[in-house]
Structure 1
């Protein structure tokens, strides 16, 4: 039976706009449907939170956070979010619909991939994550299930549901979020996350694409977590003998157990991947690992052929490859064929100019052909590929092509190594006159800047200084300080004056001011409590709701938050809850009742009972009178005295 037929949402219109046609996938947090936006008449994916979770504010917050985070990215390799809303108990995201499959589907069907295919998938994933990291977000749950491969070969990153801003505290108070096979050691140990946890997960995915298996396995999640903490990810060549050393280097760099050793974000890893790819030969890129699964295809257009189809699509000549090595056969002479001879001219009988005219025509044709050859070939030449070459190598290539080196400029680059060519003018493949010059731009490597002096600066000012200096404000933590005023920077990491790459995120420690011991004001009148807390440097907030209290009179403080004895910073707020006096309860009439019945009635109404037997009531069992008359009211919890006769 088709399970989608049992789904109550299939066939329904959500929020009066989104008609749900079919269920695509079910996860622990939400169900994804294929739907039609009836207002704009387009197909999209609708991610609907499970109604049981919609009552949990933290889940709803995470859902909405995903929508806002992805909406800010607007990157071609990120699954876009169009809308977010609610309809009754349903909370939903309207998202871009990607027809195709996930990387998990590809790995399940094909096993290990050729290095070229693995890198073709990894590069757009890193581009998407790099955009997120530079925007201040960390994905935190990268895995093959979240990498979508469209039928057109496009690669997109999905499910930013665990995303967090880099400058927020990401400790999960002991709850490990994410999938165990792709968690970085620091996520497992303390739950904290920065862009390097995404780098680690991408390193694990690269290992899995190259070998067909995860690097660590075990009988339980606990075993896998232990291995991530205590064992390095093995080199792919251990599972695939003969695999290129450059691929081992990429995996080792991305999955280093010490975060500081890894590339600092996805942009830095992408630069390493492109550099490593440039050092691989065509044979190394196209090597088929023994773990690859043989797949027969009856239909050349089935959805899983998107990987090989992308690999066989014509692509630009690699920057590290000569035209001759590309296998492209250029028949330069075929385009310069001589024009057909002109039709014979009509001549008068007896004319002797015929042979001379023929000779002239032949010479004319040869002259035109030679001129065309000279103009189109002999006088012009193509600019050779120079990208990723050194200046010396570029000069040699230009000299071999009969060209001269022109203007040499320098520029910073995050992706091209220092000393290598970033671009040429004219570009490779363009035709220019022989002996003309070609200008080049040489990489000075990543732009480096010094962390400005931030200690003692107000937080807003420190963030502005970082932006002005080409750096990004990073995670903000707060701590008490006797020396630095509240709201000012205590220290930065990296420290003031450190030379770092442009765009690096700088973490800030901000002062909470001197610690203050919160005084105990319970039982005080509101005015006295407010005065004492204000003098201590604290702010006061009075809770809207007042509570009954038999212990404290009306207007006195019943409780305070935080409690007395705890520590707060100057300017922190203490919330006071005031008493509205004891709850008044009607007293039952127990005169004439037995002692047991009277006691049960009074205690049931919330009173305490005191027996007054005197001399005459020592052996009696009937209530003669009560201290508060029946029908009157008395504070709940107060004592009612009964006389017995």
Structure 2
């Protein structure tokens, strides 16, 4: 059922207003009367609540995020099944998404972008520490609160890092997916690093690095095309930040940061010294090796070798994954090649570079056989609509997916029979053979023509079905001679048709109709008198067009009868409704509605303030004025650099701003800024922000100190194996373990190496620990048997750096 303001869930949560809606769920602002706080409630839509599969997928988001507690992650408080209502209770964040913030500002300054990236990275690191990979990092899933805190949201396709992560089909929005996600390969923590790199790229340039007409072309760009350095689009991007972004977005995961903590370290360095070229890069492959000459015999062998074919890329409607359809026997090689980064091959004859476009000549035939059935996220991407709140991506639900596989290979060998013929039979008359050949060709042409007609007619039937797997050409735009894509059509003129005629016309145009009814003149009874989408408008095939059918009852159009049809809007209680419901009510009564926003200090956001006129006849236009909430006052941020924290607090208070929470106040060593003085700030000085916003900053700790601990010991491994230790071989490593901000941090002291069981291991180290952390452990680990052989407690002392 639909929730309305004033309703209670569990006698605890009072629904205040609806603040969002997606393909599978609706989000409400609510008040928890038990704890006296505002919350967000995500409710599974009624049409899905009876499906156990949908409910299970819906709960995946809560299960993925419920175990995470971090200032930069949206908290999940509760998940509830109340009869037929399934919902998640979450932290309510008052603010805007990073995507909206970028759109509003065009692009961000480098220091502001680094500050936001640091907060996001800290949230991602907390998830990775719990072995959770988000897999959908993008600006739409990052919320900036009014106090300046950035939180990562929507763990709808997150998954624990296990063997199940290999080959996982759920991927994030195509503009931000990693190459390994695009090819359906292994996703690990470096997948999130790639997506964060794309997000940083968009922050500093105002655009994503890869865009295109459809999701497949964008995914292929992630696989094959190099990223344009952000400084070419924005010369103000400093070298350190550009190096960080380029390292995050390497095609091969092993060339990116090993973990998010390395990225955080470099981001903090870039914040203090943006022009320092300190980012470590993996060495490139040496291209200076001599050219190899292929002999004629070798070239002949290459040309005669069997070729492997590649299949089309498939977009799954449920999980929005890109994967290879098995082709003619080359499945394993192609998957292995792509997962190891080999996406291009050389054609021996000409040396031309062949890119795996994913196009297959069998595409058109497969498409007509029913691989398509309705349009989901692909159409949204092609028409520029946001990919947020799509249940197919967020919850990965699979409803009877057709595999689309045709066995292990589509090519067949007929060499045996062909070779057995040996040549033309001497008993066959050449003239008869020529006649039979001609007749055979003619019959084949007729059969092909008949099949084309049959498939063309069946295409309309399959297009209106519920099949949810769509095979797409990877390189063709699919535009017809009329300028329309294969997925588009033009809306015809339905006015004046009967319902049956309109249905037939809609079927010809691959459209669906929905009906409403209104009073009309008797001669127009049963005819379409109005259509909500104008004739000639280009829409997606299978779109639903609203038409209005006359019911008669209007004998004449005299002024007296027109007055009798006037609708009194004051009797409808519009002020008690939100803009969307009020609009639906008025349109159901045959009225046209335009929505206009106004600020209001007394009417809650999205609620109707007033309307004009107060009465109208069917077909008239009504202007609904909807509240956009109180007006926001923007104030400039003062310059805090060089100030003490006390001075900064006074300046912010005078400007109507606040100091960010303690966890967002960073410290940094500096040779130039005195201890206790502010090095940098976010937002930057003179930047316009909403009044009451929080400002964070970085405080100098001077040249700084370091924390060291010393261990001197010799550890005999034979204590674990006895006299037979000489015949035993194990793999041993030494690590240092510390607890930092409630999270365990492990540092390798000695890399894993094989040793005999009778060796005495020297343990003599001067260790440097984390700043401000006074204790820890040094562990000798038996990697072979996954156990700790010896633990040394550590006590760190603060000394000058």
Is the strand fraction higher in 1 or 2? 2
Structure whose alpha-carbon radius of gyration is higher:
1
TM-score for both structures, normalised by structure 2:
0.38
After TM superposition, the score normalised by the length of structure 1 is: 0.47
